[in-house]
Amino acid sequence: MLARAADPPASTTARGIAPAIWFDARMHALAQAYRRLRGWSWPRGYPIAQFPNPPLIIGLVALGIRYAVPGAWADAFAAIGYVFVAVWAYLELTAGVNLFRRLLGAAGLAYVIVVITQRFIA
């Protein structure tokens, strides 16, 4: 059976855009929005507050999930969370954009060390 000239190819949607192209455009827009958020800081000249780094986001999400799951899963999420918070703190300590950010990294690393030490002692 021959396709009529008015019928769109099978690889297009109702909008006339191929699904892969539409998905790529959406992902590109999402990546641009993420880069714009990552560039946010306050104040501009000496950033004290900024959008969280990926290790901090993952760490805080894992530490939050540990309260919602029981038993060994809670311990696993706590371990994942503390590892990622320690990675964030190390990165801030070694590559922070200013003294405040480096001190924040040192405080975060000290916090993780204290919490892990208390878990092993108790």
The answer to whether 105 touches 90, Cβ cutoff 8 Å, is yes
Over the stretch 78-99, which tens digit does the pLDDT of each residue have?
999 999 999 999 999 999 999 9
Quickly tell me which residue has 């999402």 as its tokens: 30
Report pLDDT digits (tens) over 18-68.
667 777 888 888 889 888 888 888 888 888 888 899 999 999 999 999 999
Please tell me the distance from the alpha carbon of residue 38 to that of residue 18, in angstroms, as a whole number: 30
Q: What is the pLDDT of residue 6?
A: 52
pLDDT tens per residue across span 107-116: 999 999 999 9
Residue 101 predicted with pLDDT over 80: yes
Contacts of 50 (CB under 8 A, 6+ apart): 40, 41, 42
